[in-house]
Structure 1
Amino acid sequence: MAAPTAEALMRSRYSAFVQRDTGYLLRTWHPRTRPARLDLDPGMRWTGLEVLETTGGSAFHSTGTVTFRASYRGGTLHERSRFERVDGAWVYVDGDFLD
């Protein structure tokens, strides 16, 4: 089942990073910006996620953004991610690092 909102997709992608599920990450990446392969750092240990703001990204939108802070052992990642619908499903397009 497709994620009903951009925020739900972002949360599921965070879980995929935690579990190193590169197949899911690539499937939920916009075809226009998706890399050919994804090599995740085996030493990265994600420890938490805080959603700070969302814009758009509901069933009534075709685009949306999610601003979040993801913690990992040794630091945090602060990003505003952009999402679009492709064939009715939300996909990650790209993001800007903040801070």
Structure 2
Amino acid sequence: MTIQLLRQRQKKGQLETVRFIQNACAPIVIQVIFSENGQWQQQLIKNRHGQVVTCTNLAQAYAICRSAGVYRAALVQIVAHDEACAADSAVTPRPSISLTFQE
């Protein structure tokens, strides 16, 4: 999903959740959960070349969302130790921190 498509879905009221996912020391990626044809879909924000957009800090992620008219997101942090110790069957939802930011 591109930033332009995110903006369009926001205007149509199709967004359910936007998540900033931070995996240990890796860059932040932005995941969008939206409704399409009555089904919930989830995609990462990508540039026009199809590469996943990454952010080095929350300010960059905020700026991307603000440019699309999105002012709420959830921060999901994944701790590296959890990745190393958990089997695929032990994957559990990570608690998230709700974020609201200004225009």
Superposition TM-score, scaled by structure 2 size:
0.29
Point out the structure with the larger strand share: 1
Superposition TM-score, scaled by structure 1 size:
0.30
Point out the structure with the larger helix share: 2
Rg (Cα) greater in structure: 2
